């Protein structure tokens, strides 16, 4: 299996449960990995034989910077669903990690994150 990774994309969004999160917003990061067969693209060197990184990034940006969700779980699910719908003939599976680096919770930690996998390859 081959993979395309878009790592550590950075966005500003208004996702969260607390009022401060939905009013002030905060930074988010996302990593998306696509399980695909990219041998044809590797042999042809033709963009039409692979998945456009720009298209995947645009999906992530639209969701991350768009309509607020309460949970980052819902953000990740929305990204995975949209990618699988758009690239259903090419993507066998998708892994999405959504990271909230500065959640408004007390304590010492680096970040909080959710990671989901969806699609035929991961089932």
Average model confidence (pLDDT) across the chain? 94
- Active-site residue 100, yes or no? yes
Confidence of residue 104 (pLDDT cuts 50, 70, 90): confident
* The dihedral sign for the CA sequence 60, 62, 64, 68: negative
pLDDT of residue 103: 81
Query: φ, ψ for residue 105 (rounded to 5)?
Result: -130, 145
> What confidence score (pLDDT) does residue 69 get?
97
Question: Any idea where the domains of the chain sit in the sequence?
Answer: 2-119
- Extended beta strands in the chain, E state: 2-13, 26-36, 93-100, 112-119
pLDDT at position 106, please?
Answer: 82
Catalytic residue among 40, 67, 95, 100: 100
Residue 123 has pLDDT above 80, yes or no: no
Model pLDDT for residues 45-103, shown as the tens digit of each residue: 999 999 999 999 999 999 999 999 999 999 999 999 999 999 999 999 999 999 999 88
Q: For the domain bounded by 2-119, which CATH number is listed?
A: 3.30.1130.10
Quickly count: other Cβ atoms within 10 Å of residue 116's Cβ.
Answer: 15
Confidence of residue 108 (pLDDT cuts 50, 70, 90): confident
Q: Can you tell me the mean pLDDT for 7-15?
A: 97
Max Cα separation, the chain?
52
């Amino acid at each position: 299996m081959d993979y395309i990774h878009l790592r550590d994309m950075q966005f500003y969004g208004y996702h969260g449960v607390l009022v401060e999160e939905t009013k002030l917003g905060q930074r988010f990061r996302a990593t998306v990995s696509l399980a695909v067969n990219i041998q044809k693209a590797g042999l042809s060197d033709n963009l039409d034989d692979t998945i456009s990184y720009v298209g995947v990034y645009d999906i992530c940006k639209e969701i991350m910077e768009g309509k607020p969700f309460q949970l980052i779980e819902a953000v990740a699910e929305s990204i995975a669903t949209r990618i699988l719908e758009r690239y259903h003939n090419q993507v066998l599976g998708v892994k999405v990690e959504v990271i909230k680096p500065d959640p408004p919770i007390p304590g010492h930690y680096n970040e909080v994150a959710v990671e989901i996998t969806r699609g035929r390859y991961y089932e």
